[in-house]
Structure 1
Amino acid sequence: MAITMTETAASRVRTFLENRGKGIGLRLGVKTTGCSGMAYVLEFVDELNEEDSVFEHEGVKVIIDQKSLVYLDGTELDYVKEGLNEGFEFNNPNAKSECGCGESFNV
């Protein structure tokens, strides 16, 4: 089981953490919502929870809870910039379909 991120995404997370001035990494998770059933959740982490798994990639810790890991195992986090739009993109091999806006997915 693994969660990875591209160098571009890792660089962006490192910059966000430096600007924030604290934090041990980035939490990646899922919640039930959106037009396709599940949505990705990204947030900074200051403390680990007992049920967390930690993956380190490109010098950045990605923290994920056990419930979310089932849906996100093998996911690569990328950071893309296209024209005026920029943001994190999830390359999730478990997603059977995604909504048009890329905010939610179905497994």
Structure 2
Amino acid sequence: MFAIPGTAPVTITPAAEKQIARLMTGKNAFGLRIGLKKGGCAGMEYTMELAKAPEPNEEVVEQGAARVMISPMAQMFLFGTQIDYETGLLESGFRFNNPNVTDSCGCGESIRFEPLEGSRTQDG
């Protein structure tokens, strides 16, 4: 919906591609659905769930054996995001390198975006 023709709305690193494909195979899923919900100290949080099929109006991005579905509400906020998977000594997980984020909390789990032009803010 918010894509530029010929350009994927999100990119997937090889590490994320491998992990998404592994999760899909293990749960016999169509793909990994990503979205956003209100919450956290900065205002929004990413959501992820394995899904059996895409919902209407979801953007589907395929790369190798990996498939990501972007919920309609999240598409404009995730455009240009790189999805990565990092493995560390203490924790491993998906990371969203999102150029649209204007602020995040210290733990990196919660994010904030600039208000859209013409949208009402809490002050008005």
TM-score by length of structure 2 reads 0.81
2:85·2:92 contact (CA, 8 Å) conserved in 1?
A: yes
Please name the residue that 1:105 is paired with: 111
2:20·2:67 contact (CA, 8 Å) conserved in 1?
A: no
Q: 2:83 aligns with which of 77, 80, 93?
A: 77
The residue identity in structure 1 corresponding to 2:59 is: S
* Cα distance in 2 between the residues matched to 1:91 and 1:57: 17
Runs (4+) of structure 1 exceeding 6 A deviation are none
* Cα distance in 2 between the residues matched to 1:47 and 1:19: 16
Check if 1:45 corresponds to 2:51: yes
SS at match of 1:96: strand
How many residues matched? 106
SS at match of 2:83: strand
Q: 1:96 aligns with which of 102, 106, 123?
A: 102
Please name the residue that 1:17 is paired with: 24
TM-score by length of structure 1 reads 0.93
Q: Please identify which structure carries the higher strand content.
A: 1
Please name the residue that 2:38 is paired with: 32
Greater relative contact order, per chain length (Cα 8 Å cut-off, separation 6+): 1
Task: Indicate the structure (1 or 2) with the bigger Cα radius of gyration.
Answer: 2
**CA apart distance, 1:7:** 0.5
* Cα distance in 2 between the residues matched to 1:41 and 1:31: 7
What percentage of residue pairs aligned between the two structures are identical? Answer: 35
The residue identity in structure 2 corresponding to 1:11 is: K
**CA apart distance, 1:59:** 3.0
**CA apart distance, 1:45:** 1.2
Considering only aligned residues, what root-mean-square deviation do their CA atoms show, in Å? 1.1
The residue identity in structure 1 corresponding to 2:14 is: E
